[in-house]
Amino acid sequence: DAGVIQSPRHEVTEMGQEVTLRCKPISGHNSLFWYRQTMMRGLELLIYFNNNVPIDDSGMPEDRFSAKMPNASFSTLKIQPSEPRDSAVYFCASSLGAGQGLQPQHFGDGTRLSIL
């Protein structure tokens, strides 16, 4: 079975540009998470969707960040405008029945974002 698919794997862009990260969750999974990983802050949950609906976006750092899930098989994380401090590895993860929090999350291989 295909795992969580993220694209692009690497993104290098200049400060001020719009960045869009994409995620295809595992088919049948109804929960989707976006994380950011940095050396300084470790893994941070940015936003959680359940059945395509954003449930918790309290981890989104500021209004420059937005996320959508138009259907069960696709989600985007957008940064506009981007800043150098947004440089990090961004992960998407999906799971079944996250409302009970007992199913493991399956992670994609991430997007390594560098803002110059």
Partner 1 sequence: AQSVAQPEDQVNVAEGNPLTVKCTYSVSGNPYLFWYVQYPNRGLQFLLKYITGDNLVKGSYGFEAEFNKSQTSFHLKKPSALVSDSALYFCAVRDGDYKLSFGAGTTVTVRA
79: closest CA among 33, 11, 31, 5?
Answer: 11
φ, ψ (nearest 5 deg) of residue 52 = 75, 0
Q: Which is nearer to partner 1, 10 or 80 (CB)?
A: 10
Residues 57-86 that bind partner 1 (CB under 8 A): none
Contact 35, 46 (CB under 8 A): yes
Minimum Å gap between C-beta 24 and partner 1 is 13
Cα Rg of the chain (Å, integer): 13
Q: Which of 42, 53, 62, 63 binds partner 1 (CB under 8 A)?
A: 42
Residue numbers at the binding site for partner 1 (CB under 8 A): 4, 31, 42-43, 45, 48, 50, 55-56, 91, 93, 98-102, 104-110, 112
